[in-house]
Amino acid sequence: MSGRKAVKSREVKRKATAFSAGRIAARVSALGREISRAYQKRRLDVVVTLDRGFVFAADLVRQINGPVVCHFVREDVRDVEQGGRARREIAFGSRPELKGRDVLLVDAVLDSGITQEFLLRRLGESHPRSLRLAVLLDKPSRRRVGLEPDYFGFRTASNHIWVGYGLAASNGTGRNLRGLSPDKHR
């Protein structure tokens, strides 16, 4: 391959991946340092939302310097009709006991904020010492509630559905990709 073709190939690849694996790793490392400073080696209970948050959470907790206990919750979102009105119902499985503990909710994307706000309220019912939110992607232009993350990897104004780094495309593929790109299947 000539030098000119190699350069062109790298340029195409760079455009296709909005957030490279290296850029993500550097940002997650910086978030880990910031969180470590905030908790000063105190035990941190990390609540991870499945399915979206598992890759981000796995990398993030390895960057936190101090004791970490992981808990996993899975959201169950369903549309229900009651009295002729359609509404969306959000439920989570069992809640961990978090009374008096420092808690960090970790999710991959903060979009409308409705689901995270609901879960934060539910976790707050356990009366933790502190309760904070960390997300990889913050999409403030899509927010429907007054919620801001305490820690975020990247802020994006994009309306894209992101694929890679644990996030699936609309057809279910792509979670294993190391970088993040817009979903080409939409």
Round to whole Å and give the CA distance between 99 and 128.
5
CA separation for the pair 144, 46 (Å, rounded): 25
> Is there a catalytic annotation at residue 111?
yes
Nearest-angstrom CA–CA distance, 108 and 14: 22
d(CA 173, CA 185): 10
Q: Are 147 and 186 in contact (CB under 8 A)?
A: no
How far is residue 165 from each of residues 29, 132, 179, measured CA to CA in Å?
15, 22, 6
The active-site residue out of 59, 107, 111, 138 is: 111
Under DSSP, the state recorded for 96 is P
Looking at the annotation, which residues are catalytic?
111
